[in-house]
Structure 1
Amino acid sequence: MYINLVGSLRKYFIFLTLVAAFIYLCTHLVKNNPEIGLGLFKNESAFLINNIMDDEAKLLSSNSSQIFFLETHLEGRRNLTNARQACSVEAAAKTNPDHQIYLLLATNETQMTMERSVLYDALAAYPNINIRYVNLLEYSRGTPLEQFMIEDKLSKSKFRIEHTSDVMRILTLYKYGGLYLDLDVLSIFPVRIINKKNFVCLEGHNHFSNAIIKLDLNEGKKFSTAYVEKLRTNFNGDDWTVNGPSMISSVFRSFCNGTDLPKDKAGECEVLTAFPNQKCFVIMYKNFTKFYEPEFSSEMFERVKQVGGYFIHIWNKMLEFNNKHYKLDYDSKAAYVELAKVYCPRVMDTKVSF
């Protein structure tokens, strides 16, 4: 009887050990690979996502081969519900399989929960898409903007979401190098073929956009440092554009000793290239509705072909400003939907309205 009891206890101990090992393995896999977590726990409606700081060593050794998107609403729990934004992330991943794509979610919290959705599953199918959260104070440590974050200037801004994005994008390129894209920018041309380590995009005569910025960690450091320092000393929470397009234009003029750059011609300054607006936007905001209206589809495709652009800016913010509401479904003949079927097919297959 004693021998039987010992044998039973041994089997029970072995069983508990195996269960503990399985739980540890699953936890480790989910922590480091959220997309694997989805495969293991199909019924989970929400899960924790990783901190970008966990990827810092990889980012610093990547030779600036990463593309960043930002979402700066600052809530502690997120759900990917915007198909247009998900489309931009997928397009970057599909067009640039040799780059790591990061969707960074800003927060003041020390952890973040992501809700499952069909859009998340669509993005998780790509091995080069990474969704990470960013704690702003932790992110700024050891940079010129550390005290700026300690003073919590962003929360006092009248345009908190927009200004958080303005600050985070240049801080990210300062820290890691790479390409920053707004969430309403479609990548239609591989970055490796563009073959420029550092570039910005003209929006008007001597006026730049900060929707698309590429800076190498080393060669672009002088420009990113100048921009970060200007933010530190000249941040203005009362004006929507002053920390973004206005500031990057000012930094460029100072960096390039007042070089005159028309909006439709490329320019060079030290290691920095300024692309003309059509290479980055295809159409400007005055005509932005044409991407959403089927009757202009042929005109838009001809325009895309004619200018040979690297990106397409679909001007989501201008829709808000002009109170335009285009709800597009899979069968729409609008140019944007037709482009999305090519550049973000997995998002389109979800049939979530745009």
Structure 2
Amino acid sequence: MKIDTSKAKQCFKLKSTSVGADISSINFFEDVMKSGKHPTLGKTIFFHETSCSTNNLVHLNARQACAIESAALLNPNWDVFVMFASPVGCVLNETTARPPIISALESYANINFRNINLWTYAANTPLEHWFLSDKLFFSEYLNSHVSDFLRYVSLYKFGGLYLDLDVIVQKTIENMNANYAGAESENFVAAGVINFEHDGIGHEIADMCVREFYENFRYNDWGFNGPGVITRTLKKICHVDEPLKMSPQKCLGFKVYAPNTFYAVPWPKWDLFFDVDKLNQTIEMTKNSIAIHVWNKHSSKRRLKVGTKAAYGLIAEKNCPKVYVSSGEYF
């Protein structure tokens, strides 16, 4: 029996009517493929928001905005592109002001907000025909799998660095050699931080990733199409099964950093970021990390009052200062 995917697709297309907002008053962000300014090849940091707006308005919470600000603040010579998978913008009229955290982000010259049309974005990539088959929209974890789809397509098209929206950058990546990711454990290379150069071996590996994505896509598996893709691809390239043994010498120059580089706090211990009593332990664990990952899937419902002396709050206050002070009572 043919499954109707129209409802799944609808939220990623511009709606003719809008709930809670007059669509005519929305200043939509430009389509990234039609904009006069495109991502700089190999020197762009990408964030993708795929939750799918119900009213065509931009929705970023303070923690997501913190990730974006930290990337822009620590890497002023790189573009930061924040791209929305459903068409969004801001209401512009005399009575509606931009949310404070959006204004905070707009103060950075290197942050660019864009919309993505999934259909045109996939065009002229190895994923084009697969995408048009609608297989992605059969997913049981659609928002997550759209995010997986976009991270590999963006890196294939432009190179550069993909970051999850629950990553806070602590040190610049501008001088790091291209082509890297980080192990989150002895079994998996994580997909929250991935860098490819836009040509050469980096582009070849990105090409392998997009092909691995569609050739082995699983609509009912949350992680198989994200960290699973980069892990399986690197196993083929490196001829090594253990991520902690994936060295540039074995992986055609691609580097897999040890967990303490991006994932010093493993997901089963995510609550360390919020535990005041474990502040010193957590700061010590993460002090040499280029970035931290707070495992939003697990931590999103844990509230953190601004000013609380927990590691997450102190790291945010230092690395996304404008967003942190604009976030209200809770971060």
> Which TM bucket (shorter chain)?
0.7 to 0.9
Q: Which has the higher helix share?
A: 1
Unmatched 5+ residue regions in structure 2? Answer: 1-23, 92-97
| Cα separation, 2, equivalents of 1:154 and 1:303 | 38
Q: Which of these residues, 316, 321, 326, is aligned with residue 340 of structure 1?
A: 316
Distance 1:125 1:207, change over 3 A: same
Distance 1:99 1:185, change over 3 A: same
| Cα separation, 2, equivalents of 1:230 and 1:114 | 36
| Cα separation, 2, equivalents of 1:312 and 1:345 | 16
| Cα separation, 2, equivalents of 1:132 and 1:84 | 19
Give the Å deviation of 1:56. Answer: 7.5
Secondary structure in structure 2 of the residue aligned to 1:212: strand
Distance 1:206 1:331, change over 3 A: closer
Unmatched 5+ residue regions in structure 1? Answer: 1-43
Map 1:10-49 → 2, pairs under 5 A? 46-49=26-29
Q: Which of these residues, 37, 54, 59, is aligned with residue 34 of structure 2?
A: 54
Give the Å deviation of 1:73. Answer: 1.9
| Cα separation, 2, equivalents of 1:198 and 1:271 | 7
Secondary structure in structure 1 of the residue aligned to 2:147: helix
- Single out whichever of 156-165 and 203-212 deviates more from structure 2: 203-212
Give the Å deviation of 1:260. Answer: 4.1
| Cα separation, 1, equivalents of 2:107 and 2:172 | 20
Map 1:120-135 → 2, pairs under 5 A? 120-135=102-117
Secondary structure in structure 1 of the residue aligned to 2:57: strand
**Structure 1 counterpart of 2:115, one-letter code:** Y
Secondary structure in structure 2 of the residue aligned to 1:192: coil
| Cα separation, 2, equivalents of 1:137 and 1:119 | 30
Q: Which of these residues, 183, 196, 201, is aligned with residue 177 of structure 2?
A: 196
Q: Which has the higher strand share?
A: 1
**When the two structures are superposed, what TM-score results if normalisation uses the length of structure 1?**
0.79
Give the Å deviation of 1:159. Answer: 0.5
Map 1:125-274 → 2, pairs under 5 A? 125-193=107-175, 195-219=176-200, 220-258=202-240, 260-262=242-244, 267-268=247-248, 269-274=251-256
| Cα separation, 1, equivalents of 2:124 and 2:309 | 50
Q: Which residue of 2 aligns with 1:71?
A: 49
**Structure 2 counterpart of 1:270, one-letter code:** L
**Structure 2 counterpart of 1:200, one-letter code:** A
Q: Which of these residues, 252, 266, 284, is aligned with residue 302 of structure 1?
A: 284
Preserved CA contact (<8 Å) 2:260 2:289: yes
| Cα separation, 2, equivalents of 1:211 and 1:238 | 20
Give the Å deviation of 1:348. Answer: 1.2
| Cα separation, 2, equivalents of 1:328 and 1:170 | 32
Give the Å deviation of 1:335. Answer: 1.1
| Cα separation, 2, equivalents of 1:56 and 1:232 | 30
| Cα separation, 2, equivalents of 1:266 and 1:143 | 28
| Cα separation, 1, equivalents of 2:196 and 2:168 | 19
| Cα separation, 2, equivalents of 1:149 and 1:351 | 37
Secondary structure in structure 1 of the residue aligned to 2:171: coil
Preserved CA contact (<8 Å) 1:79 1:117: no
Larger Rg: 1
Give the Å deviation of 1:79. Answer: 2.9
Q: Calculate percent identity across the aligned residue pairs.
A: 30
How many pairs were matched up? Answer: 297
| Cα separation, 2, equivalents of 1:259 and 1:351 | 43
| Cα separation, 1, equivalents of 2:325 and 2:115 | 27
**When the two structures are superposed, what TM-score results if normalisation uses the length of structure 2?**
0.85
| Cα separation, 1, equivalents of 2:138 and 2:42 | 32
